[in-house]
Structure 1
Amino acid sequence: MARLKRTLSLGSVVLFGIAYMTPIIVLGTFGILAETTQGLVPSAYLVASVAMLFTALSYGRMAAAFPVAGSAYTYVRKSISPKLGFLAGWGVLLDYLFLPMAIWLIGAAYLHSAFPAVPQALWVLAFIGVTTAINVIGLNLAKSVNNVLMLVQFLVLAAFVVLAVHYVLGDPSKPLWSLQPFFKDGVQFPLIMSGAAIACYSFLGFDAVSTLTEETHEPRKNIPRAILLITLIGGFIFIAASYFVQLAHPSIEFQNADSAAYEIARNIGGDLFVSLFLIGLIVGQFTSGLSAQASASRLLFAMGRDGVLPKAFFGTLSERFGTPVGSIVLCSVVALLALEMDVTTSTSFINFGAFLAFSLVNLSVIFHYWIGGKQRGPRELVLFLVFPLIGLVADLWLMVSLDHLAIYLGLSWLTVGIIYLGLLTGGFRQQPPEMHFEEA
């Protein structure tokens, strides 16, 4: 079997995970979270960070047990059952397939705020067209400039936070240290949970580094550490950034919640900074969308090559470009749904797939270590039963805290997956084909 070369250190994997998370997204979704939580965005990120921390621990445990690519699909398939593993992969596919749609929708919302004369739909189509063309031709150019673009994104985020602090210090009525962004009388916990369910969108990517297992030095040690560090660092960035932005703009009223940070940027930094912020956000959304579409197309190619999806369409590469053109085009067609969806529904819909996969990974820890491995000492009780159960309950709670339309869409996606699994396995009598992600 083909194996990838181990070239990545712990630091390299952590940087990859943080870059994949696109930290500037904390600004991109700020208005939506502010409206949902009634002005308690940092509180939503705090709850989301705690929930994701327990899930990250489970990912780390399973990455140590199965140091191969495949992430949630591999863990659930090998520890519980191939059929349930397929459904875990189906949930991950929901993330991969629809993530570009949400990314481009957020970018289009901000460009529409800056240039209201241009219809938002036109920006969406432009994102889809340019990104699809680059992915069809190949990613060599994108790879060479990606690090520079990520640096721009981080600098803009840092500048936004610094200007927010400066803005607060310039107003005697706004203290720099306050519990108001975390707690308000009359705001009920279910609202914070609804916000946390959306906030988890920002964390998508901490689990992606588990797919780098075969390319990492000492993966049994470094991958669990990297997953934990990425979650902690990401959580700190999201909580700190949203805290200072919330102080600078405690109101929950915006001209457009989908692009609220554009309005805040103008208040704290003026017209010049608004332009710099917009450049940073669009750069972040473009590079993230480019990577997300490329990842989704490779996943579809792997599924097609291994017979999980129709091979004639999904499992072939372009003779000219050597890329999975059919899968790339399908991703762009799916992204056209952004023309009929808002940011809240699109991000929540994607989170349904994430919470499904996260829940099954937590469950796989219990099956692999506690039930299968019979590791049941006092320490193991905490690590292999209590912690994953907390992660499982937290993920399920966040799932049911999503808006109703997202839940209906997510359940519909899961139903389609179960029906397709039945067809693939001859009425569930056979095992589904196994996917080999390491060759994708």
Structure 2
Amino acid sequence: MSGGKPVELTGRLSLASVVTFGLAYMAPSLVMVIFGVIAAESAGTAPTAFAVATCAMFLTALSYAKMARHHPASGSAYAYARTLLGAPAGFLVGWAVLLDYLFLPMVAWLVQSVFLHAQFPAVPVWVWMLLNAGLTTLVNIIGLALTDRVNKVLTALAVFLVLLFVAYCLVHLGHHAPASYTAPVWNADTSLGGVSVAAAVAAYSYLGFDAVTTLSEETRDASRTIPRAVVLVVAIGGLLFAGVAYVMQLVHPGGVFDDPEIAAYTMSVEVGGQTFADWTNMAGIVGGFASGLAVQLSSSRLLFIMGRDGVLPRRVFGVLNPRTGTPVLCLLLTGAVCLVGLDISVATATSFINFGAFLGFTVVNVCVIVHFVRHRRAAAGGAQVPGILDLLGYVIAPALGACVTVYLMTQLSGVALTIGGCWLALGVGWLLWLTRGFRRPTPEMGLADRPAAPAAAELSSEA
């Protein structure tokens, strides 16, 4: 409270700021990190795998854009499910997504700490973890304006370093012309099955594009800005990933590597020498910090929204600092989660998050269809039969998006599915306790003081 009035999130972010947060979340340098794995799975057609993954995730991005347009409140999949599928369903979706958002900062810090340890081996990974988490938390606590500025600088630097690597690759290709410029797209060893598997792996690179929807209440003209930002993040990220992968595939044709996990580092030595390779490693370090900053920002907002709604203890999670306007306790909690990652591998850490992410994606696609069914007459301009554009935009595209995300969920490891299933079961138990066996209503989202969704009649013009 401040001056007798509740402290609320305020709209400050521009389209450029929101898009930068989304790109930082996805980490531009990630394409270099996983290139070897994607190329090996796709038999040397990494750019095709990234292009397929981009198209697949774009379907879900369109669904997020529609939901952000019609329901411009923070909370992402959680808010949309509560509004369209009911409070209990929204609670369980929010609980599942919470697993993703709660542990994603830890994963971002852990990946960055691994890079830093490789660059400075004298400093243990756990020390880097504490430094990264502490510094990121401090920046986010100070305020959104500082976070925005720092994020823009770091993301621009990370993109510059990636493009610098591409420039060195192009110079190298000027002296060592590739045998074929089409082989990275499709070659004699390519198969649909291989590209599909590789695309499923590449799709993990896009986790986080949806996180910009958690910033709706802190964005100017959110009903217009957030939908555009979601689409732009996937489009820009997809073009960057596919383009960089194409150049890398020209430098190293085929999918055979001594060690796919360090293919980018080996390639950096080849095109620029050892010193350049060490500097290229900085792209991952800088991008990792920017990603951790963006990830913790969105995670703390989801915790705040759930606390504000009473799904989580309101006195702990639903409070903003009156001076900074930030959810300090939520930020401290997400910062403390780094302690979980002090002694685990990156593979184990990532198994915590993917279940909630893909479940959230699936539910948002379903929400678009439910929204359309509820307003189908208005969406069709009063006609009894919906228009083809309405069906394409609000039924067919999200249905395909849901199929893609369900498929991606089936590709998760047994560990990921087990952890996700146990977490969801715990959420059911918490919901039963919260509602006293459904004898009390699930805490409702207070949308009365937030921007109203546009009329259903606007559906047709946006399809």
Determine if the TM-score, normalized by the shorter chain, exceeds 0.5: yes
Map 1:213-362 onto structure 2 (within 5 A).
213-214=216-217, 219-250=222-253, 251-255=255-259, 257=261, 259-315=262-318, 324-347=327-350, 349-362=352-365
Aligned to 1:18: 23
Distance 1:260 1:101, change over 3 A: farther
Return the offset for 1:38.
5.2
Map 1:84-233 onto structure 2 (within 5 A).
84-135=89-140, 141-172=146-177, 174-175=178-179, 177-180=181-184, 182=186, 185=189, 189=193, 191-214=194-217, 219-233=222-236
The more displaced of 109-118 and 71-80 is 109-118
Instruction: Tell me if structure 2 keeps the 8 A contact 1:197–1:402.
Output: no
Matched position secondary structure for 1:59: helix
What is the TM-score with the length of structure 2 in the denominator? 0.82
Question: CA-to-partner distance for each residue in 1:70-93, whole Å, 9 max, x for gaps?
Answer: 321221111121111122222332
1: CA distance, partners of 2:15 / 2:364: 22
Distance 1:151 1:43, change over 3 A: same
Distance 1:150 1:131, change over 3 A: same
Return the offset for 1:237.
0.8
1:423 equivalent in alignment to 2:423: no
2: CA distance, partners of 1:108 / 1:256: 20
Instruction: Tell me if structure 2 keeps the 8 A contact 1:308–1:435.
Output: no
Distance 1:169 1:87, change over 3 A: farther
1: CA distance, partners of 2:155 / 2:301: 22
Distance 1:30 1:435, change over 3 A: farther
2: CA distance, partners of 1:281 / 1:341: 20
Q: For structure 1, list consecutive stretches of 5 or more residues without a partner in the other structure.
A: none
Distance 1:368 1:229, change over 3 A: same
Instruction: Tell me if structure 2 keeps the 8 A contact 1:216–1:222.
Output: yes
Return the offset for 1:366.
0.9
Instruction: Tell me if structure 1 keeps the 8 A contact 2:56–2:404.
Output: yes
Question: CA-to-partner distance for each residue in 1:138-158, whole Å, 9 max, x for gaps?
Answer: 666554433222221111011
Question: CA-to-partner distance for each residue in 1:174-232, whole Å, 9 max, x for gaps?
Answer: 3461334555627562x544443332332233223333444556554443333223222
Instruction: Tell me if structure 2 keeps the 8 A contact 1:193–1:398.
Output: no
Question: CA-to-partner distance for each residue in 1:112-166, whole Å, 9 max, x for gaps?
Answer: 3334454434433432344345445666655443322222111101111122222
Distance 1:324 1:383, change over 3 A: closer
Using the aligned pairs only, state the percent identity.
Answer: 43
2: CA distance, partners of 1:403 / 1:78: 31
1:67 equivalent in alignment to 2:38: no
The correspondence for 1:58, drawn from 41, 59, 63, is 63
The amino acid across from 2:182 in the alignment is: S
Instruction: Tell me if structure 2 keeps the 8 A contact 1:23–1:202.
Output: no
1: CA distance, partners of 2:111 / 2:231: 27
Distance 1:101 1:366, change over 3 A: same
The more displaced of 277-286 and 15-24 is 15-24
Aligned to 2:398: 388
2: CA distance, partners of 1:157 / 1:405: 33
Distance 1:157 1:235, change over 3 A: same
The correspondence for 2:85, drawn from 80, 83, 86, is 80
Matched position secondary structure for 2:353: helix
Name the Cα RMSD after superposition: 3.3
The amino acid across from 1:74 in the alignment is: A
Return the offset for 1:330.
3.1
Question: CA-to-partner distance for each residue in 1:332-385, whole Å, 9 max, x for gaps?
Answer: 343334344433443354222111111001101111112454553333222221
